[in-house]
Structure 1
Amino acid sequence: MTSIRQLLRITLSLITGLLLYACSVSYSFTGTNINYDIISSFSVENFFNDSGGGPANMEQLFTESLKDFYQRNTQLELVRNNGDLQFSGAINRYTIAPQATVSTQDPNLPDRAGQMRLTIGVEVDYVNTVEEEYSLKRTFSFFQDYDPRTTSILQVESQLIEEIFESIIQDIFTATVANW
């Protein structure tokens, strides 16, 4: 009777071990799905500012921020041209628009904007030369609000652009190499 129980325990242990081994999942702290055995490099062409707005160095700031993010969060080597993963595109939207109006108590004065919204859109052409089914062309956009009653766009523009770019680049990263 004991030998049957021992045999049953050993069999169940082996089956459990095999199931756990077969169902193993690989985790990465950055959330990437990159197979570094076949993908080793990335390249970023200079993005252009086709929006007609924003500061003169905005496209350079975006391009460098994108490069820095991928270098910090992957093991890929940045190359000048023809990387295994290739990024190109343009900033195609830069708008500042009122979001909430504030009524004035004086009937002779018009209502004013209580919140203004800076929105930036970036069209990205992503080419995965190794796994072409993951290539994409998509526009990513994000916004930040500010209060025009206490600050002007000139005072907060660079900070807002940096925050918007961080969000857009995180979305690009997720769509391209994190496959969420």
Structure 2
Amino acid sequence: MKNIKYILLLFVAFCISSCSVYNFTGTGKIDAKTFQVNYFQNNADLIEPGIERTFTLRLQDLIQNQTNLNLTTSNGDLMYEGEITRFNVTPMTATADIRAAQNRLTIAVNVRFTNKNKEEDNFEKSFSFFDDFPANTPLTGEQLNRSLEVIFERITQDIFNESLAKW
């Protein structure tokens, strides 16, 4: 009976230690300890003040929440940098009297990712997403915050998946 307990204990210990290679975010084993997210400049033709800071913080928060990496301001093993390249609103659907019934906010972000420990993972890529909202609602205040939440959640998750999630 004692041998069965030891075998079972050994089996459980093996299973727990092997689980450290994978986690629920799909990041697997990351050969890095730190990351940095440089400030994303807003280079879009239409400037919405403050969205560059909001985006930078959202990306930092997502990586901190989904990995064990430590945020640093310089010499990070992983580095994210880039710029917001597009912020525009376009009419999407029209009413019978030829007025916009729905508008679409689209944001695009160009990202340069550098992995000091694994250079083959480096990339530069554009990520974009959109949010539709009623045309009779101005893109300010509550509506702007809701649209930014939807768009930034998707873009930051896409950046995370491209750089760290190795499914």
TM-score w.r.t. the length of structure 1 is: 0.78
User: Which residue number corresponds to residue 128 of structure 1?
Assistant: 115
Q: Would you identify which runs of 4 or more consecutive aligned residues in structure 1 move more than 4 Å? A: none
Distance 1:27 1:62 in 2: 28
57, 63, 67: which one aligns with 2:56:
63
What does residue range 55-134 of structure 1 map to in structure 2 within 5 Å? 55-104=48-97, 111-134=98-121
Match of residue 26 from structure 2: 31
For this pair of structures, how many residues does the alignment match?
149
Question: Is residue 35–residue 71 contact of structure 2 (8 Å, CA) maintained in 1?
Answer: yes
Q: Give the AA of the match of 1:28.
A: N
Give the aligned residue type for 1:77.
N
Secondary structure at the aligned position of 1:153 is classed as coil
| Unaligned residue ranges in structure 2 (runs of 5+) | 1-17
- Residues of 1 paired with 2:40 and 2:29: CA distance? 24
Q: Distance in 2 between matches of 1:114 and 1:34?
A: 48
Q: Over residues 109-149 of structure 1, what are the superposed CA-to-partner deviations in whole Å (9 max), with x where a residue is unaligned?
A: xx111110000000000001101001110000000000113
The amino acid across from 1:64 in the alignment is L
For 2:36 and 2:113, the matched residues in 1 are separated by: 10
- Aligned partners of 2:28, 2:128: CA distance in 1, in Å? 23
Which blocks of at least 5 consecutive residues in structure 1 are unaligned?
1-23, 105-110
The amino acid across from 1:142 in the alignment is: F
- Per the TM alignment, residue 179 of structure 1 is displaced from its structure 2 partner at its CA by 2.6
Give, in whole Å, the separation in 1 of the partners of 2:63 and 2:145: 22
Distance (whole Å) between structure 2 residues aligned to residue 65 and residue 53 of structure 1: 21
Helix, strand or coil: the match of 2:140?
helix
RMSD of equivalent CA atoms: 1.7
| Aligned 8 A contact 1:34 1:177 in 2 | no
Match of 1:138 among 125, 146, 160: 125
Q: How many angstroms apart in 1 are the aligned matches of 2:126 and 2:148?
A: 17
Q: Report the Cα distance in structure 2 between the residues aligned to 1:162 and 1:126, rounded to whole angstroms.
A: 23
TM-score (norm. length: structure 2): 0.83
